[in-house]
Structures are given as structure tokens and as C-alpha cells.
Amino acid sequence: MRRLSVFLGTVAFLHSAQFIAGADPPPVPVPPVDPGCAATVAAAPGDVPGPDDTPDSLERAHRFATGAGVRVAVIDTGVAPHPRLPPVIPGGDLVVLREHRPDAPPPPDGALDDCDAHGTIVAGILAARPSPDDGIVGVAPGVDLISIRQTSTRRATETVGAGGSLASLTDAVNLALDQGARVINVSLTSCLSPEAVGKVDTDAFDDALARAEELGVVVVAAAGNTGDRCPTGSVVLPAHRPTVISVSAIDTPHTVADYSVAGPGPLLSAPGRVPVALSPRGPGFVVGVAERSGTGVFEGTSFATPAVSGTAALLIELHPTDSAAGIRARIAGAVDPATGTVDPATVVTHVPADYRGIPHPVSVAAPIETPTGIRERSLSTVTILLAVVGVALIVRYAGSRRRRGRGRVGQ
């Protein structure tokens, strides 16, 4: 599996949204440590950005929108509740659990269980709420967050498989639609070789995507990370479907990460790595996952994806009647042409090119008609003046000729 990364915007929140006012949210209970779950590495105080270390893009974007009232479904490994997230709506659990070990603590309920430490990271990039104590905030901190657990490498039985299945992804999309999601974030991929594409029945999955399009729901998915399971040239589902926004990762402000799988659609991307993320194990922050070789950082197209999903939520708050195609067009029309980078502030303030071609009604007042008598007197006056000037010129010319004639006789 590609090492993980998170795009957590580090920005002070300036918009006066409802969730900032009022009392602090109730503390989130810390689940018992499960030795079977992914071990995370806690952030040191120096790892957490301060309130002044804030990207200008999110600061400016949040002056216009925060995603308030927009429902976003995160189809992933589950989202653990965190005091910096909005209350997580459990949208469904499609993971078949292994037999529970007697010595292990009981797992949280379904969609609120993130044993893999993946879905919570994604949710934090998208929807982390601000705090005056640090500079961490999500791209759309005002959204309503739905968690649907579709896969797990730590909880699932062998029959489900590490990457879930296309059937469970289809069910997850339909669950999100049933619960009123306007944006669906899929930071998971199913990679097929070109030869295998025709052998896989995708009818039900394509029907779910068509339903999303009909309902005006924007589906955003990871472009995929190249590797043994997803070699170059693979067809990636759902990213390579025409109604899905495929998100690549950038590793510098000017370059697309070489691990991003190229797609058939327009190039859209977001930062693929960030040093600190919300913890799936409690109220703090984490910098990675503990591995035998050291700390595995959060990096990949999985975590570029929620940055674009959050941007879509900002647009939907501003343009609630836009179709899914309209939101996709607004995003694609405002990206960096070299890297496809989606900058939230640029997107929410961008005026689409076709707006300039829309005819706008212009009212021009008709000239005031001059009364007939005044117009005739004006013409008479002009005629007289022209005649006087003409006579004066003739007299001057005749006098000049007489003077020249007298000069020649005297000589």
C-alpha cells in the first residue's frame, strides 16, 4: 500500500459559522487501544502548526463559504469521532468482521470504527474544525459528515478482501445517496488491467453513478497510486468514469507526483502529503503510522482527494442549484493549467469563462426629438453664417488681386 498523506489546511477560520458559536463540543471518548489496529505515531507539540501558520488560500476561501449545510459522505475505512470533526453521522457498515478475539476490546460501532487509520485522516482533511490554539482546519469545516465503512484490512474477513469489492462500493454509493449526500468522497480505488475491464460486470456500479448524476451529487475519487496492484495503464474505478472527478497528487507546487495514475479526464490535483493529521485514536494529532522501518508518513492520491471534495462542498454552498456537471466545470475551469492544482480560494472566486459570453440586456435611451420650429431656425442660422463667411472670403480674394495688379504697373 502506498504510504499515506493528508492535506490538512492550516488556516485560521474567519467565517462566522454556527458551529463556532456556543459551548465547546462534548469530549469524545477515547476507545481502548486495540493491538490489532494500525498503530499511529502521536504528534509532538512542535509538529502542530501555530495559529499564524495558515495557508492564505483557505483563509480567503472561508470568507465566502465553509460548506455549511452540505452533506458529504466519506466512503472509506470508517471515521472515528474526534473533537475537531463535526458530529459524524454513521451512514452504514459494509465490512464483514472477523471473529472477535476474546482478549481484544470491543470495537466501536461500524462506521465509527477506523481500525485502519485511514478514513479519519481523510475526514480531517475535508472537515476539521478550527481552534484558536493551532492552525489546523479542513477545507470545508462547515459540512455535515457521513461515514460509510466500505473496506478494512484490519477488521474484514478474508472473503471481503483488503480492498473491499466493487459490489460493496456500489452499495456504499447508494447508501450515501439515500442519506442526502451532495458530495461523495472515495479515497479508495479498484485497479483493473485493460484486459480485465471487459470481464468485470460494472452495470450496477454504473447505475449508481448515473443515479448520483441525476440527483446532482458530485463524486470525487482518488486517481490511484502506481504499484504492483495498480500498474501504469490501469483502469481505475471509480476515478476513470466520466462523471467522477479524478484527483491526482502534487508533490511540489509545480509538479504532479510520479506515483499518480494518469486518467482520461482533465488533470485535477491537490497536495498529496502533510505532516500532521487528526488522530483516529483520540483527541490529538498524529504524524504517521508506526512501521517496522520507522514512521510511515501520510502520502498518496487518497489524501489529495478530500481537498477537492471539500472545494466542491464550498461551491455547492455558494451555488446550491448547480448540477453535478456544473460544479465539475467550475472546478476544472479554475485550476492551474500546468498541474491541475485545485486552489479553494481561486475556485470559489472564479468567474467561469462562459459567463462573459452571456448576453446582458442593455437599455439605451432614444434621442430626444428636436421640435420642428427650432430645427428649421437652426438650419436658417447656419445657412446665413455660411453665406457671410463665403462673401467675406470672396471680397478678401478680390482685394488681394487688385493690390498685386497696381504693383506691376508701377514697376
DSSP, residue by residue, 352-403: PGGGGGS------PPPPPPPHHHHHHHHHHHHHHHHHHHHHHHHHHHHHHHH
> With DSSP H G I counted as helix, E B as strand and the rest as coil, what are the percentages for the chain, rounded to 5?
30, 20, 50
Catalytic status, residue 76 = yes
pLDDT at residue 199 is higher than 80:
yes
Q: How far is CA 345 from the centre of its chain?
A: 10
* Cβ 2 vs Cβ 295: under 8 Å: no
pLDDT value, residue 305: 98
Max mean pLDDT among 87-96, 152-161, 178-187 falls in 178-187
Q: Determine how β-strand 218-222 pairs with β-strand 244-252.
A: parallel
Average pLDDT of the chain?
84
Question: Using N-to-C axis directions, what is the helix angle for 203-214 and 324-332, rounded to 10°?
Answer: 90
Of the residues 118, 134, 248, 309, only one is catalytic, namely 118
Cell numbers standing for residue 3: 504510504
pLDDT value, residue 324: 98
Q: Which residues contact 163 (CB under 8 A, 6 or more apart)?
A: 151, 188, 189, 190
Q: What percent of the chain has pLDDT over 90?
A: 62
pLDDT value, residue 394: 78
Q: What percent of the chain has pLDDT over 70?
A: 80
pLDDT at residue 403 is higher than 70:
no
Cell numbers standing for residue 226: 502506481
Q: What global pTM score does this model have?
A: 0.79
pLDDT value, residue 20: 29
DSSP secondary structure letters along 139-201: S-TTSEEEEEE---TTTB-TTT-TT--HHHHHHHHHHHHHTT-SEEEE---EEE-HHHHTTS-
pLDDT at residue 101 is higher than 90:
no
pLDDT at residue 167 is higher than 60:
yes
Of the residues 34, 76, 114, 144, only one is catalytic, namely 76
- Point out the least confidently predicted range of 134-148, 328-342, 377-391: 377-391
Q: Which residues contact 231 (CB under 8 A, 6 or more apart)?
A: 191, 193
Of the residues 168, 187, 246, 302, only one is catalytic, namely 302
Q: Which residues contact 124 (CB under 8 A, 6 or more apart)?
A: 6, 8, 82, 84, 85, 136, 138, 277, 278
Q: Which domains does the chain have, with CATH numbers?
A: 39-350 (3.40.50.200)
- Point out the least confidently predicted range of 130-134, 176-180, 289-293, 366-370: 366-370
Q: Give residue 70's pLDDT band: very low, low, confident or very high (50, 70, 90).
A: very high
Identify the residue with better confidence: 5 or 275.
275
pLDDT at residue 143 is higher than 50:
yes
pLDDT tens string 204-257 = 999 999 999 999 999 999 999 999 889 888 999 999 999 999 999 999 999 999
Distance, CA of 342 to CA of 323 (rounded, Å): 19
Catalytic status, residue 118 = yes
* Cβ 69 vs Cβ 317: under 8 Å: yes
